[in-house]
Amino acid sequence: MQADPEIFFQMLADATRLRITVLLQSHGELCVCELTHALSLSQPKISRHLGQLRESGLVQARRAGRWMYYRAHPDLPAWALGVLQSTFGGVMELSPYREDALSLQQMPDRPGASCCA
């Protein structure tokens, strides 16, 4: 996969997309409902940003029943993965990333049993 550096950094320049990307980097794969809960944002807003991340090639989507799951694209080039890993390591103790992770951790009824109200 060839990632365009300009598009890659444009995607990360948006606060919502960066927060989503950090959560995906730290948790691997998340359902849209987990992201809406963690970020306290509406499903349409989260879905719009996930669509942009998917179109840019940064994330990959998977459908399971009626739920959509997202993860960092497994074929990102090494330089892009390095940027994501370095960013994750540098921001996880900062606000709002710390609160996003805590909110996700405290989410009741996380996917696995039954997903998303």
Q: How far is CA 14 from the centre of its chain?
A: 12
CATH number of domain containing 37:
1.10.10.10
Range of the domain at 93: 5-104
- Residue 99 domain-assigned (yes or no): yes
**Closest to 52 measured CA to CA, from 101, 7, 110:** 7
- Residue 45 domain-assigned (yes or no): yes
Q: What is the pLDDT of residues 5-43, one digit of tens each?
A: 999 999 999 999 999 999 999 999 999 999 999 999 999
Q: Look at the pTM and tell me if it is higher than 0.85.
A: yes
- Residue 23 domain-assigned (yes or no): yes
Instruction: Please tell me the total count of domains within the chain.
Output: 1
- Residue 113 domain-assigned (yes or no): no
Secondary structure of 50-114 in HEC code, one letter for each residue = HHHHHHHCCEEEEEECCEEEEEECCCCCHHHHHHHHHHHHHHCCCCCHHHHHHHHHCCCCCCCCC
